[in-house]
Amino acid sequence: MILQSKYFVALTGAGMSTESGLPDFRSHGGLWYGKNPYEIASPKAIGTSEFIAFYRNRIEDLQQYRPNIGHQILAKWEKAGYLKAILTQNIDGFHQQAGSQHVIEVHGHLRHLICTECQRAYPADSYRKGIEKCMEERCNGNLRPPIVLFGEELNPDSWSSAVQEVEKADAILVLGTSLTVYPFAGLVELAKETGARIAIINKTETELDHLADIIVHDSIGKVLGEVDQALSG
Ligand SMILES: [Zn+2]
Protein backbone atom coordinates (compact mmCIF):
# COMPACT_ATOMS: atom_id res chain seq x y z
CA MET A 1 0.00 0.00 0.00
CA ILE A 2 2.80 2.42 0.90
CA LEU A 3 4.74 1.70 -2.28
CA GLN A 4 1.65 2.11 -4.46
CA SER A 5 0.64 5.42 -2.86
CA LYS A 6 1.39 8.89 -4.17
CA TYR A 7 0.42 10.75 -1.00
CA PHE A 8 0.64 8.76 2.20
CA VAL A 9 -0.22 10.23 5.64
CA ALA A 10 -0.36 8.80 9.15
CA LEU A 11 -2.95 9.50 11.86
CA THR A 12 -1.78 8.78 15.39
CA GLY A 13 -3.37 8.55 18.83
CA ALA A 14 -2.55 7.67 22.42
CA GLY A 15 -1.58 4.05 21.63
CA MET A 16 1.42 5.42 19.73
CA SER A 17 2.86 6.84 22.94
CA THR A 18 1.76 4.23 25.47
CA GLU A 19 4.38 2.03 23.77
CA SER A 20 6.94 4.52 25.14
CA GLY A 21 5.55 3.78 28.61
CA LEU A 22 3.77 7.15 28.77
CA PRO A 23 0.62 6.68 30.85
CA ASP A 24 -2.60 7.04 28.89
CA PHE A 25 -4.60 10.14 29.78
CA ARG A 26 -7.45 8.02 31.00
CA SER A 27 -5.26 5.88 33.22
CA HIS A 28 -4.64 8.91 35.43
CA GLY A 29 -8.33 8.79 36.29
CA GLY A 30 -8.18 7.23 39.71
CA LEU A 31 -5.16 9.21 40.82
CA TRP A 32 -6.63 12.67 40.79
CA TYR A 33 -8.43 13.23 44.08
CA GLY A 34 -11.06 10.76 42.94
CA LYS A 35 -12.10 13.27 40.28
CA ASN A 36 -12.91 12.67 36.67
CA PRO A 37 -10.02 13.70 34.39
CA TYR A 38 -12.59 14.93 31.89
CA GLU A 39 -13.70 17.49 34.49
CA ILE A 40 -10.14 18.51 35.37
CA ALA A 41 -9.18 18.89 31.70
CA SER A 42 -12.00 21.34 31.03
CA PRO A 43 -12.03 25.10 30.48
CA LYS A 44 -13.85 25.79 33.72
CA ALA A 45 -11.07 24.07 35.70
CA ILE A 46 -8.31 26.38 34.39
CA GLY A 47 -6.51 28.01 37.31
CA THR A 48 -7.68 25.48 39.89
CA SER A 49 -5.11 23.55 41.91
CA GLU A 50 -6.35 20.29 40.34
CA PHE A 51 -5.85 21.61 36.81
CA ILE A 52 -2.35 22.89 37.59
CA ALA A 53 -1.33 19.67 39.36
CA PHE A 54 -2.70 17.57 36.53
CA TYR A 55 -0.81 19.39 33.77
CA ARG A 56 2.32 19.89 35.85
CA ASN A 57 2.33 16.09 36.19
CA ARG A 58 1.66 15.56 32.46
CA ILE A 59 4.53 17.91 31.54
CA GLU A 60 6.88 16.18 33.99
CA ASP A 61 5.79 12.75 32.67
CA LEU A 62 7.00 13.74 29.22
CA GLN A 63 10.54 14.34 30.44
CA GLN A 64 10.72 10.77 31.73
CA TYR A 65 9.78 9.12 28.46
CA ARG A 66 11.18 9.12 24.94
CA PRO A 67 9.85 8.46 21.45
CA ASN A 68 9.76 4.73 20.68
CA ILE A 69 10.67 2.68 17.61
CA GLY A 70 7.27 3.44 16.04
CA HIS A 71 7.92 7.22 16.15
CA GLN A 72 11.41 6.64 14.76
CA ILE A 73 10.18 4.56 11.85
CA LEU A 74 7.62 7.23 10.87
CA ALA A 75 10.39 9.87 10.94
CA LYS A 76 12.54 7.60 8.79
CA TRP A 77 9.71 7.10 6.28
CA GLU A 78 9.26 10.87 5.99
CA LYS A 79 12.98 11.33 5.25
CA ALA A 80 12.80 8.50 2.71
CA GLY A 81 9.92 10.29 0.95
CA TYR A 82 7.21 7.72 1.72
CA LEU A 83 5.30 9.64 4.37
CA LYS A 84 4.05 13.18 3.68
CA ALA A 85 2.48 14.16 7.01
CA ILE A 86 1.53 13.01 10.48
CA LEU A 87 -1.77 14.16 11.97
CA THR A 88 -1.75 13.45 15.68
CA GLN A 89 -4.10 13.63 18.63
CA ASN A 90 -1.10 13.41 20.93
CA ILE A 91 0.16 16.43 22.84
CA ASP A 92 3.50 14.88 23.84
CA GLY A 93 5.67 16.13 20.96
CA PHE A 94 7.26 12.68 20.49
CA HIS A 95 6.92 12.75 16.69
CA GLN A 96 9.03 15.90 16.47
CA GLN A 97 11.49 14.54 19.04
CA ALA A 98 11.93 11.49 16.82
CA GLY A 99 12.73 13.77 13.87
CA SER A 100 9.42 14.08 12.01
CA GLN A 101 9.10 17.50 10.36
CA HIS A 102 5.55 17.72 9.06
CA VAL A 103 3.42 17.07 12.12
CA ILE A 104 -0.04 18.58 12.64
CA GLU A 105 -0.96 18.50 16.33
CA VAL A 106 -4.73 18.80 16.15
CA HIS A 107 -5.10 18.73 19.95
CA GLY A 108 -2.19 21.10 20.65
CA HIS A 109 1.01 20.47 22.62
CA LEU A 110 2.72 20.87 26.02
CA ARG A 111 5.94 22.59 24.88
CA HIS A 112 4.93 25.82 26.60
CA LEU A 113 2.13 27.50 28.54
CA ILE A 114 0.16 30.56 27.48
CA CYS A 115 -1.75 33.28 29.33
CA THR A 116 -5.50 32.93 28.85
CA GLU A 117 -5.87 36.73 28.70
CA CYS A 118 -2.92 38.17 26.75
CA GLN A 119 -1.61 34.95 25.09
CA ARG A 120 1.96 35.59 26.36
CA ALA A 121 3.95 32.34 26.21
CA TYR A 122 5.67 30.91 29.28
CA PRO A 123 8.13 28.00 29.58
CA ALA A 124 6.56 24.58 30.13
CA ASP A 125 8.24 24.27 33.55
CA SER A 126 6.51 27.42 34.86
CA TYR A 127 4.00 25.40 36.91
CA ARG A 128 6.86 23.52 38.54
CA LYS A 129 8.45 26.86 39.45
CA GLY A 130 5.22 28.04 41.05
CA ILE A 131 4.32 30.46 38.25
CA GLU A 132 0.57 29.97 37.73
CA LYS A 133 -0.50 33.51 36.73
CA CYS A 134 0.62 35.88 34.01
CA MET A 135 3.26 38.36 35.15
CA GLU A 136 2.37 41.09 32.65
CA GLU A 137 1.34 44.25 34.45
CA ARG A 138 -2.41 44.34 35.19
CA CYS A 139 -2.98 41.03 33.37
CA ASN A 140 -2.95 38.32 36.05
CA GLY A 141 -4.48 35.86 33.58
CA ASN A 142 -4.23 32.14 34.31
CA LEU A 143 -1.57 30.12 32.54
CA ARG A 144 -2.69 27.09 30.58
CA PRO A 145 -1.16 24.69 28.07
CA PRO A 146 -2.06 25.40 24.41
CA ILE A 147 -4.08 22.23 24.08
CA VAL A 148 -7.69 21.47 23.27
CA LEU A 149 -9.55 20.85 26.53
CA PHE A 150 -12.76 18.85 26.73
CA GLY A 151 -15.56 21.03 25.43
CA GLU A 152 -13.23 23.35 23.49
CA GLU A 153 -13.15 23.75 19.73
CA LEU A 154 -10.13 22.59 17.77
CA ASN A 155 -7.74 25.23 16.47
CA PRO A 156 -9.31 26.05 13.08
CA ASP A 157 -5.93 26.41 11.32
CA SER A 158 -4.54 23.06 12.39
CA TRP A 159 -7.88 21.38 11.73
CA SER A 160 -8.13 22.73 8.18
CA SER A 161 -4.51 21.67 7.54
CA ALA A 162 -5.40 18.17 8.76
CA VAL A 163 -8.45 18.02 6.48
CA GLN A 164 -6.36 19.21 3.51
CA GLU A 165 -3.76 16.49 4.13
CA VAL A 166 -6.45 13.79 4.23
CA GLU A 167 -8.04 15.16 1.05
CA LYS A 168 -4.66 14.91 -0.70
CA ALA A 169 -3.98 11.41 0.60
CA ASP A 170 -4.51 8.26 -1.40
CA ALA A 171 -3.34 6.11 1.54
CA ILE A 172 -3.69 6.65 5.27
CA LEU A 173 -2.24 4.66 8.15
CA VAL A 174 -4.10 4.93 11.47
CA LEU A 175 -1.99 4.12 14.53
CA GLY A 176 -2.96 3.66 18.16
CA THR A 177 -6.40 5.20 18.33
CA SER A 178 -9.74 3.54 18.92
CA LEU A 179 -11.34 6.24 16.71
CA THR A 180 -13.99 7.20 19.22
CA VAL A 181 -13.02 10.89 19.55
CA TYR A 182 -14.57 13.25 17.01
CA PRO A 183 -13.87 15.24 14.96
CA PHE A 184 -10.49 13.41 14.71
CA ALA A 185 -12.10 10.07 13.86
CA GLY A 186 -14.02 11.88 11.13
CA LEU A 187 -10.72 12.18 9.23
CA VAL A 188 -10.87 8.44 8.59
CA GLU A 189 -14.44 8.74 7.29
CA LEU A 190 -13.27 11.61 5.06
CA ALA A 191 -10.43 9.45 3.73
CA LYS A 192 -12.95 6.73 2.89
CA GLU A 193 -15.17 9.22 1.04
CA THR A 194 -12.25 10.57 -1.00
CA GLY A 195 -11.22 7.04 -1.96
CA ALA A 196 -8.00 6.68 0.00
CA ARG A 197 -6.86 3.24 1.06
CA ILE A 198 -6.95 2.83 4.82
CA ALA A 199 -4.80 0.71 7.12
CA ILE A 200 -5.38 0.55 10.87
CA ILE A 201 -2.90 -0.75 13.43
CA ASN A 202 -4.27 -0.79 16.98
CA LYS A 203 -4.02 -3.23 19.87
CA THR A 204 -7.78 -3.55 20.07
CA GLU A 205 -10.72 -3.18 17.70
CA THR A 206 -11.60 0.37 16.66
CA GLU A 207 -14.95 1.96 15.92
CA LEU A 208 -14.03 2.28 12.23
CA ASP A 209 -12.41 -1.09 11.48
CA HIS A 210 -15.20 -1.65 8.92
CA LEU A 211 -13.78 1.20 6.78
CA ALA A 212 -10.27 -0.24 6.61
CA ASP A 213 -8.60 -2.17 3.78
CA ILE A 214 -5.97 -3.54 6.18
CA ILE A 215 -6.49 -4.10 9.92
CA VAL A 216 -3.84 -5.33 12.34
CA HIS A 217 -4.58 -5.68 16.04
CA ASP A 218 -1.06 -5.74 17.46
CA SER A 219 1.77 -3.57 18.81
CA ILE A 220 2.55 -0.58 16.58
CA GLY A 221 6.32 -0.82 17.05
CA LYS A 222 6.35 -4.49 16.13
CA VAL A 223 4.19 -4.15 13.02
CA LEU A 224 5.91 -0.98 11.75
CA GLY A 225 9.24 -2.73 12.26
CA GLU A 226 8.11 -5.57 10.02
CA VAL A 227 6.76 -3.18 7.38
CA ASP A 228 9.98 -1.18 7.51
CA GLN A 229 12.02 -4.31 6.90
CA ALA A 230 9.84 -5.17 3.94
CA LEU A 231 10.27 -1.65 2.53
CA SER A 232 14.05 -1.78 3.01
CA GLY A 233 14.40 -5.24 1.59
ZN1 LIG B 1 -1.32 37.77 30.41
The answer to whether the annotation marks 134 as part of a ligand binding site is yes
> Please, where are the H alpha helices in 23-112?
37-40, 49-64, 69-79, 94-97
Find the 119 Cα to ligand 1 centroid distance in Å: 6
139 & 197 share domain: no
Mark whether 99 and 178 lie in a shared domain: yes
Q: What is the pLDDT of residues 133-153, one digit of tens each?
A: 999 999 999 999 999 998 899
Range of the domain at 123: 23-64+111-144
**Is 225 inside any structural domain?**
yes
Separation of alpha carbons 231 and 103, rounded Å: 22
pLDDT number for residue 233: 78
Tell me, what CATH number does 163's domain have?
A: 3.40.50.1220
The answer to whether residues 128 and 95 belong to one domain is: no
3-class secondary structure for 129-165? CCCCECCCCCCCCEEECCECCCCCCCCHHHHHHHHHH
What spacing in Å lies between the alpha carbon of 55 and ligand 1's midpoint? 19
Mark the ranges of the chain whose per-residue pLDDT is less than 50: 28-31
Together in a domain, 82 and 118:
no
Shared domain check, 138 and 208: no
115 annotated as belonging to a binding site for a ligand: yes
Give the pLDDT score at 76. Answer: 98
Report yes or no on 138 lying in a domain: yes
208 CA from centroid of ligand 1 (Å): 42
Does a structural domain hold residue 40?
yes
Pairing of β 8-12 and β 83-88: parallel
Catalytic residue numbers, as ranges: 107
Is 158 within any annotated ligand binding site? no
Same-domain status, 232 and 122: no
